[in-house]
Amino acid sequence: MNSLRNKQKIITPKKGIYGFSLVELMIYIGIFAVSAVFLVSILTVVTQIQVRQTSVHELNQQISFVRAVVERFVQTSSLVDMTTAVTTSTIKLRMSSSTNDVVLVYPLNSILYLEERDASGNSTVKPLTDSNVVVDNFSATKYQTPNGFSLVQIDMSLSYNATNPRAMATRTLKTAIARISAAEFDSSVYPNTSGSFDIGTATKNWNNAYFAGVVGIGATSFSPGYKAVISGGDLGIRDVNTGLIVKTPDGSACYRLGVTNSGGVTTTLVGTCP
């Protein structure tokens, strides 16, 4: 009888040993799936922002570099050699150095270049942008300010060079740069049309003029020994108290030549010789 009872003894599980029920397992899997989707979404957004910020940072860097370089050359130039109020794709500057006579800034094959030429025509070309960006637009317009300074307006647009749509970005630059240095030339200055332009006006005059050679008015050739040649007109003196001042042969005095009402020649001693 006792042996029968021993065979019918119920075996109970040991204390401390448990398992997951099917319901608990499904809950845990659901929580893990939701968390994984949430974390993946955060990682995707962060990655997209990083890619976008990388392209924007590259564009900002290159735009800032182009602006700094062009600004330096425009401000230190002797002449902005561009037609006023005409938009062009090339900035042309004349510099005061014979080793850097002409500076050009222009786009070519989606890259912006800086070209420097010396007085002999030898040139050095440097890229201002690299292959990471594309120059979509570059234009410049020269304006002449009332005080005589030239102003260069620049319109530029750069795009990040990428095939990933999320990395694509565009930045634009619209600025105006004034030439602030005094004009200094290392070559002859010519008007583009003969007999069409003036130096100064009736109300805005230049102060003094100094010439080492001959001053010619309407003259195409000069005889040796002459410092001023007038052709095709007379030399007019309006003020009755002024005239032609000449120095005596011994250099001791100077006289102003004039005329009387009847046309007679007069001489007046002046205190200071020219």
Residue 13: pLDDT above 70?
A: no
pLDDT at 116: 94
The beta-strand segments (E) located in the chain are 79-80, 87-88, 91-97, 100-108, 111-117, 123-127, 133-144, 150-160, 170-178, 215-217, 228-230, 244-247, 254-259, 265-270
For residue 167, give both structure tokens: 């990395």
What 82-88 contacts at long range (C-beta under 8 Å, 24+ apart), as own/partner pairs, is 82/140, 82/142, 82/152, 83/142, 84/142, 84/143, 84/144, 85/141, 85/142, 85/143, 86/141, 86/142, 87/139, 87/140, 87/141, 88/139, 88/140, 88/141
Residue 15: pLDDT above 60?
A: no
Residue 88: pLDDT above 90?
A: yes
State the pLDDT confidence band at 148, using cuts at 50, 70 and 90.
low
User: What does the pLDDT look like over 18-39, one tens digit per residue?
Assistant: 566 777 778 878 888 888 887 7
pLDDT at 22: 75
State the pLDDT confidence band at 153, using cuts at 50, 70 and 90.
very high
CB 101 within 8 A of CB 120: no
**Model pTM score:** 0.56
Residue 157: name the closest of 134, 131, 140, 132 by CA.
134
pLDDT at 86: 94
More confident residue, 266 or 233: 266
Residue 167: pLDDT above 60?
A: yes
